[in-house]
Amino acid sequence: MKGAIRLKQVSKAVVTVLGFDRKGIIAKVSHVLFDRGINILDISQTIVDGFFNMMMVVDISEPTCSFDELQDDLIRLGKAMGLQIRIQKNEIFEAMHQI
Amino acid sequence: MIQTNQILETLRMIDQEKLDVRTITMGISLFNCVCDDVQRLASRVYSRIARQAEGLVRVGEEIEREFGVPIVNKRISVTPISLITGAVDDPMPVARALDRAAHETGVNFIGGYSALVQKGMTAADRRLISSIPQALSETELMCSSVNVASTRAGIDMDAVRLCGEAVKSLAEKTKDQDGLGCAKLVIFSNAVEDNPFMAGAFHGPGEGDCAVSVGVSGPGVVKRALESVRGEPFDTVAETIKKTAFRITRVGQLVAMEASRRLGVPFGIVDLSLAPTPAIGDSVAHILEEMGLEKCGTHGSTAALALLNDAVKKGGVMASSHVGGLSGAFIPVSEDIGMIEAAACGALTLDKLEAMTCVCSVGLDMIAVPGDTSAATVSAIIADEAAIGMINGKTTAVRVIPAPGKQVGDYVEFGGLLGRAPVIPVHPFSSDDFIARGGRIPAPLHSLRN
């Protein structure tokens, strides 16, 4: 439609990081995301008894690589740092928790 | 925006409570393969399946990775083979073609070596049923089913007799594997055309060319949810199950829609099921025990299962645009650690299981009985179960394993999702003369609904 503003379709994913706290977790995860053209939309973290728990909502609309490559990068980083790092498309959380 | 605790809850369901999508099943019509030359028919069947389901496993694995939810099985169901083998003398080449196609596409199982004979058998139906022992013992991934009864048609007792004999013969042919062949054969009453679960899946004649359906799972999630309402009244129990079933089913619906879109195949149905596995924390029996029963199978088990089955449907139905298949709680003995324990300690008997099938989604499932159980007794077990289905207007089924050489107290070991089961007793009194009568048990009065 002429003159209508087309909103960009945003595709989101959730990155979760679980493991023992140490320096540089957010820095290293953010670095991988930045390298792959991923924008961080929201971030939250808690530490309970030294156990690190972080969640990021990220925009994967314009990545510079495939979802699989991004996932592999994050899993590799997780292994190197002794953390469990996952990326899952946002739809599964929306499906389960929103009507 | 999704909350942190919601994300953590989803991860906990997947990691600790074994939430998974049990199967993506692609139903494929084989009517366009019909031919009176059996080799050409088999070749067409192979090509049709290999082409149509080429991307099924890849797409399933993609969805699994991207959404982070396990999709345990990818399966194919096809048109009941007796319907496409009317013009050939021997259905065995088609059986081999199905198995080859399953291997080629990389799926876990292919179902549909089936006949629908609730009212009577064609020559092709008889040929197919008599070939089942050979077909299932010579193939690896193929599953078979026979529908011998329906509320509308009554029970075909000639087919019931043949099926009892087929089960016995199949057990004997696969005796080196504890009668494993019998785990791939289901005898139905009121079979459904869009069931994504094995071993009873087939793509019914009323279906289109192709469809993808999804079967969900998640007994562990329901068990965990009920742990938080211990001692509270059943109203609360039912509400808790409904909410949990809604969430589980939404995941199934999401996966089904994604699979449909990526494969370019219409979405069929979501089967609202609670399907256990032998893993700890994935048991339907333990849900019943969580409601307050010391052991599954004791008095109260049927009522507990009725509540569970109903609440799963009520919670799930709003979460999916098309619900179908078997939809409800499964109670397979060998595939459920709680059922195995209950059968082993004598709490769960064949008679109690039969009562429970009046209120669960299907029937007597994955039950090992002594190897010397006669074909007539197996047929009589099938007839009883078919009668429950016929009278109650529900699907029932029998998947029993007369374990060759085994006695009560021995175990059959299948491994994987099929698990292990203690051999439990059948009644020692004969049903031979009953089964020898043959003929048809007429449809019940309430079949006349027009």
B193: CATH: 3.20.70.20
Q: Are the CB atoms for B179 and B169 separated by under 8 Å?
A: no
Number of domains in chain A: 1
Q: Are the CB atoms for B76 and B263 separated by under 8 Å?
A: no
Is the torsion defined by CA of B379, B382, B383, B384 positive or negative?
positive
Inform me whether the pLDDT recorded for A3 exceeds 60.
no
Write the pLDDT tens digit of every residue in A52-78. Answer: 889 999 999 988 889 999 999 999 999
Contact B7 A71 (CB under 8 A): no
Considering only CB atoms, which chain B residues are within 8 Å of A16? 7, 11
Inform me whether the pLDDT recorded for A18 exceeds 70.
yes
What is the residue range of A79's domain? 12-97
Average pLDDT of span A31-54:
89
* pLDDT score of A2: 47
A84: in domain: yes
Considering only CB atoms, which chain A residues are within 8 Å of B249? none
DSSP string of A15-37, one letter each residue: EEEEEE--TTHHHHHHHHHHHTT
Give the contacts of B372 (CB within 8 A, at least 6 positions apart): B402
A42: in domain: yes
What is the residue range of B10's domain? 1-450
Chain B residue set in contact with A, beta carbons under 8 Å: 1-4, 6-11, 65-69, 247, 250-251, 253-254
Of B367, B382, B376, B368, the C-alpha closest to B434 is: B376
Inform me whether the pLDDT recorded for A5 exceeds 80.
no
Q: What is the CATH number of the domain that holds A20?
A: 3.30.70.260
* pLDDT score of A1: 44
- Give the closest-approach CA distance of B68 to chain A in angstroms: 6
Judged by DSSP in three states, B322 sits in coil
The pair of three-digit structure tokens given for residue B398, joined into one six-digit string: 């029998």
Contact A97 B9 (CB under 8 A): yes
Number of domains in chain B: 1
* pLDDT score of A48: 78
CA distances from B344 to B140, B219, B422 (A): 29, 21, 6
State ipTM.
0.86
- Largest Cα–Cα distance in chain A? 57
Contact B6 A67 (CB under 8 A): no
- Give the closest-approach CA distance of A1 to chain B in angstroms: 26
* pLDDT score of B195: 96
A3: in domain: no
Alpha helices in B29-186 (DSSP H): 38-52, 56-67, 92-105, 123-138, 157-173
Q: A7 pLDDT band (50/70/90 cuts)?
A: low
Considering only CB atoms, which chain A residues are within 8 Å of B6? 93, 96-97
Considering only CB atoms, which chain A residues are within 8 Å of B9? 97
Considering only CB atoms, which chain A residues are within 8 Å of B65? 67-68, 71
A6: in domain: no
- Give the closest-approach CA distance of A97 to chain B in angstroms: 7
A4: in domain: no
Q: Which amino acid is at B133?
A: P
Write the pLDDT tens digit of every residue in B332-359. Answer: 999 999 999 999 999 999 999 999 999 9
A33: in domain: yes
Inform me whether the pLDDT recorded for A49 exceeds 90.
no
Q: Give the rounded distance of the alpha carbon of B355 from its chain centre.
A: 18
How many CB pairs below 8 A link A and B?
A: 54
Q: Mean pLDDT for each 10-residue chunk of chain B (450 residues)?
A: 86 90 97 97 98 98 96 97 97 98 98 98 98 98 98 98 98 96 98 96 97 94 96 98 95 96 97 91 96 98 98 95 94 96 97 97 96 98 98 97 97 92 97 98 94
A89: in domain: yes
Paired with A47 in beta bridges are A52
Contact B251 A96 (CB under 8 A): yes
- Give the closest-approach CA distance of A74 to chain B in angstroms: 13
* pLDDT score of A9: 65
First to last CA, chain A: 30
A2: in domain: no
Write the pLDDT tens digit of every residue in B101-121. Answer: 999 999 999 999 999 999 999
